[in-house]
Structure 1
Amino acid sequence: MVKLLAVLTVLISIGGCNSMSNAIAKPALLTEVNPGVITVLQQAIIKAKGGTLVTLADTVFTKRSELLLSHGTSKDPNGMPIMGAHNIKSEKFVLQIIGEQCVLYYPKKDLTIELKNVSCKAQ
């Protein structure tokens, strides 16, 4: 009886893991944006791509599930853009929901980062 219970427990655990890993990622929109959510997103972006803190609008991921980050253009001492200094492509991030969990997907590295304490809904 004890062995049967142990086997059933293992099978249920495996089934639970499989159902989470089989969940489909869907594009999502934030249901609430506040300074805490912005901070979580900023930290996820740094974790994904590295670099410094990015500035995000209060409306980020509220109308579109995609975010394109553009790199600033280098300028000369007169404030004029330096020709050819802006060769870095924009970087794309996608807000997704998998099951009940909001995640930030970074296609460039095929990386998904869980966003704790962030609520979103399927787009």
Structure 2
Amino acid sequence: MRCTIQISASLLAGACLLTGCKITPAEPQPALLTNMSPAVKVELQQAIVELIGGQPVKLADNAFATRHQLFIEQAILRDEKGLPIMGRHSQPAILLELQQADNQCRLSHPASGNSVALVNSQCQPAATPEQ
């Protein structure tokens, strides 16, 4: 009886280990966008609003095509003469990163730890610099 319990416990532990390996999500890796289109640009803009709030930002057609990071600076309010209102601002730029995990693109806001899945976007792993 005792041998049967030990074998059952060993099998259960082995099954848990194997199952744990299967359901553990892959670690997100830096990625580059491979299919920029108007629909993808809108999806990125909506994801940015979801992550950091505010109005949709203007994105270049090559956003995330050569770098997995994007820095967004807050607009400086200007008066009718084009001069900054209240002088310069000291707001830091907001960092966003394109990542891929389990063959899915995600836009990540590292400062908050939040990310948004991108369903229309296709990406590939970014080349990592040699050490």
Q: Same fold (TM over 0.5)?
A: yes
Structure 1 stretch 20-29 or stretch 66-75: which is displaced more? 20-29
The 5 A counterparts of 1:53-68 are 53-68=56-71
| 2:42 matched residue in structure 1 | 39
Q: Over aligned residue pairs, what C-alpha RMSD do you find?
A: 2.1
Structure 1 stretch 21-30 or stretch 62-71: which is displaced more? 21-30
Q: Is the 8 A contact 2:25 2:101 kept in 1?
A: no
Matched, 1:15 2:49: no
C-alpha distance after superposition, 1:71-119 (max 9, x if no partner): 1112122111235442221101000000200000101210011101210
Q: TM-score, normalised by structure 1?
A: 0.81
Query: Which runs of at least 4 in structure 1 moved beyond 4 Å after TM superposition?
Result: none
C-alpha distance after superposition, 1:51-78 (max 9, x if no partner): 1111111000001000000111121221
Uncovered stretches (5+) of structure 1, i.e. residues with no partner: 1-10
C-alpha distance after superposition, 1:12-44 (max 9, x if no partner): 9x938x635430111000011000100110010
Distance 2:117 2:85 in 1: 38
Report how many residues are paired.
111
Distance 1:48 1:82 in 2: 27
